Chains A and B, each alone.
Chain A
Amino acid sequence: MERWIRVCRPEDIPRQGARVVQISGGADVAVFRTASDRIFAITDRCPHKGGPLSQGIVFGERVACPLHNWSVELDSGCASAPDEGCVRTFPVKVEAGEVMVDLARAPGTVRDALR
């Protein structure tokens, strides 16, 4: 079942930056906007030591964790080599000028379960 939530307008997220979305009863979600205006949503916890990825420097389609500089890919939610580990990713769409995130259908969950 899909569970889309309205987050904000795309322009509310700084280019090459992120906003934190607090989910009641769940972990924070970081919503990123790249230099080319692509939007991604992933759990706001680095697979390394739980650093808030939303606070990192965004470059290309990756973010550098602010705690120990792990680099996490925004589309897969996985750390770049040699580091290992993934965070959950969420489907994103922009509808009527609003960023929407699907909290239910998370491709990351299947992958996480297999790890």
Chain B
Amino acid sequence: MQSFDPRIYAVGECVNHRGVAYGLVAPLFEMAKVCANHLAHYGIGRYTGSVTSTKLKVTGIDLFSAGDFTGGEGTEEITLSDPVGGVYRKLVLRDDRLIGGVLYGDTVDGAYYYKLLREGRSVAEIRDRLMFGEANLGDAGHLGRNKAASMTDDMEVCGCNGVCKGTIVRAIKDHGLFTLDEVRKTTKASSSCGSCTGLVEQILMAAAGADYSPAPQRKAMCGCTDHTHAEVRRAVREHHLLSIADAMRFLEWRTPTGCASCRPALNYYLLSTWPHEAKDDPQSRFINERAHANIQRNGSFSVIPRMWGGATSAGELRRIADVVDKYRIPTVKVTGGQRLDLLGVKKEDLPGVWRDLGMPSGHAYAKALRTVKTCVGSEWCRFGVQDSTRMGQQLERALWRMYAPHKVKLAVSGCPRNCAESGIKDVGVIGVESGWEIYVAGNGGIKTEVAQFLVKLKTGAEVLEHAGAFLQLYREEGWYLERTVHFVRRVGLDYVKRRVVEDATGRCALHERLLFALDGEPDPWAERAAGADHAQFEPIIAAEPVAV
């Protein structure tokens, strides 16, 4: 921001920065931040230019433009032109990525295109529908709403924190907010599950207009550091970092003990990169992974024992019934992953419950392999062509105790009717007459995502190796709290295929590393039922007051 005369700094539309003069306020704010940094001799922050979008109102005509909308060499254009209806849209693509666009007449999808442009992700798969906007993408989640403008002030935007549109608009105006992060900090909207992020961005765009600053592409892990997840992962590997304290020192963390967001991530990166070497720090894990049970809204816990492939027996069911009676467990419920959930267990009862159940941990509380859901398959089903229950049990026995950046769910179906819902799982397996089809990166959560076809295989052994290799790739290269769908979207399915399908040696090595990591991993419930880690389950009973 220093000009040719080093005594003079300049920001805003009077500046010609690398050949570009920005006439908008958002770049001015970005420049001002960098400039302030330099003036304070703080020495961090560089201005490398802004991606801008603008929405103009010309006497009742809506016009939106973003990025490079003129196109040129090496670009492709998609246009929609309806002169009589008064609508014109042009999208400019390069290498399957949206690089710019103009909307005239109907600009409701502006925020959506702008988001795609900023994310720089491939639009190859949605190219045929891209022109018709987000609402036409068959989105089952509530991200698809682009009605920010038509919402009334009392309508709820963020369902997690109960924040209405009016609250957000007021906060933007009163506090002069310009970024998504600022809106999150001030109103809490979009700060929990994140599914309303698109809507909040639309409101921000509408309320702040051209002042709106898009979220930066390069995202620091949290407020404790400027490093990204990718940089931290690389440092852990290249410098053989083995403890959270080492990692924080080496990466010059700003806070001495990190925060509730970065510590669990660091702990995972250390353990997944250096299995059997890095030391686990339970105090850097969320309570569920520390207590090996799911905390509930009243502070009690839920217990989900592992049932391989969803199959159980009279003996197990009797023990579960006895445990429910003995510990007065108020609710027993069948979960979506074909397991039984015992809800309302007191923390001090957990070790006893585990001992009496005599069943392994279901890891329903962990960023780890949850369940392998199966249909009954060829053993019983008149349509079944493969023994999906057995395949599912083999996968579950091979993968349980496997921690990952986020939870991992599998399913195996015994025929293409796909009763186990393999299409919305991290790894979905579907039996066909001649073998098994593997699908990856599906998701049934906040935003339903259909799994993508990875490979077709002949034998169960091949299924185990491919599924294991894919999950190890995710374990090694995924970012903490990134589900497989987001991981695969980030690195690309082609990359995954190259590593897991085409490169046989590499696949084998990935699978070997997974087996090595899981080797000797104990069942956390069996350990604690036998008395390990007992202090956390024992409350201290206050002694009588001491006379003073």
Task: Give A residues with C-beta under 8 Å from B.
Answer: 2-8, 12, 14-17, 19-24, 28-29, 31, 34-36, 49-52, 55-60, 64, 66-69, 71, 82-83, 100, 103
Which has the most chain A C-beta neighbours within 10 Å: B258, B282, B283?
B283
B545 within 8 A of A: yes
255-305 of chain B: CB within 8 A of chain A: 255-260, 263-264, 282-287, 290-291, 295, 297-299
Other than A52-B299, A57-B286, A82-B185, give 17 A-B pairs with Cβ distance below 8 A. Answer: A5-B546, A7-B540, A15-B283, A16-B257, A19-B540, A20-B539, A22-B540, A23-B542, A35-B257, A52-B295, A55-B291, A55-B299, A57-B284, A59-B263, A66-B287, A67-B297, A82-B187
B186 / chain A contacts, CB cutoff of 8 Å: 82
3 smallest CB-CB distances across A and B, nearest first, come from A64-B260, A57-B260, A16-B283
- The reply to whether B283 and A17 contact each other, CB–CB distance below 8 Å, is yes
A–B pairs, 27, beta carbons within 8 Å? A2-B548, A5-B542, A5-B545, A5-B546, A7-B540, A8-B540, A14-B535, A17-B283, A19-B539, A19-B540, A21-B539, A21-B541, A21-B542, A22-B542, A28-B539, A51-B299, A57-B264, A57-B285, A59-B255, A59-B259, A59-B260, A60-B256, A64-B260, A66-B286, A67-B295, A82-B185, A82-B188
347-365 of chain B: CB within 8 A of chain A: none
Number of A-B contacts (CB under 8 A): 103
B543 within 8 A of A: yes
- The reply to whether B540 and A21 contact each other, CB–CB distance below 8 Å, is yes
- The reply to whether A6 and B546 contact each other, CB–CB distance below 8 Å, is yes
- The reply to whether A24 and B540 contact each other, CB–CB distance below 8 Å, is no
* CB closest residue in chain B, given A34: B257
What is the bound-complex CA distance between A29 and B539, given in angstroms? 10
* CB closest residue in chain A, given B161: A68
* CB closest residue in chain A, given B297: A67
What is the bound-complex CA distance between A83 and B185, given in angstroms? 10
- The reply to whether A66 and B539 contact each other, CB–CB distance below 8 Å, is no
B192 within 8 A of A: yes
What is the bound-complex CA distance between A31 and B263, given in angstroms? 21
* CB closest residue in chain B, given A49: B297
Among B185, B256, B290, the residue within 8 A (CB) of A35 is: B256
A23 / chain B contacts, CB cutoff of 8 Å: 542
* CB closest residue in chain B, given A61: B257
- The reply to whether A6 and B299 contact each other, CB–CB distance below 8 Å, is no
- The reply to whether B535 and A69 contact each other, CB–CB distance below 8 Å, is no
- The reply to whether A68 and B257 contact each other, CB–CB distance below 8 Å, is no
- The reply to whether B543 and A6 contact each other, CB–CB distance below 8 Å, is yes
B544 within 8 A of A: yes
What is the bound-complex CA distance between A6 and B185, given in angstroms? 40
- For B115-155 the 0/1 string (1 means CB < 8 A from A) is 00000000000000000000000000000000000000000
- For B32-64 the 0/1 string (1 means CB < 8 A from A) is 000000000000000000000000000000000
* CB closest residue in chain B, given A57: B260
- The reply to whether A58 and B543 contact each other, CB–CB distance below 8 Å, is no
Which has the most chain A C-beta neighbours within 10 Å: B186, B187, B258, B260?
B260
B282 / chain A contacts, CB cutoff of 8 Å: 14
B290 / chain A contacts, CB cutoff of 8 Å: 55
- The reply to whether A5 and B543 contact each other, CB–CB distance below 8 Å, is yes
* CB closest residue in chain A, given B535: A12
- The reply to whether A57 and B539 contact each other, CB–CB distance below 8 Å, is no
Cβ distance A75 to chain B, nearest Cβ, rounded Å: 15
Cβ distance A104 to chain B, nearest Cβ, rounded Å: 8
- A52-B299, A57-B263, A64-B260 as given contacts; A22 in contact with B541, CB under 8 Å: yes
522-548 of chain B: CB within 8 A of chain A: 535-536, 539-546, 548
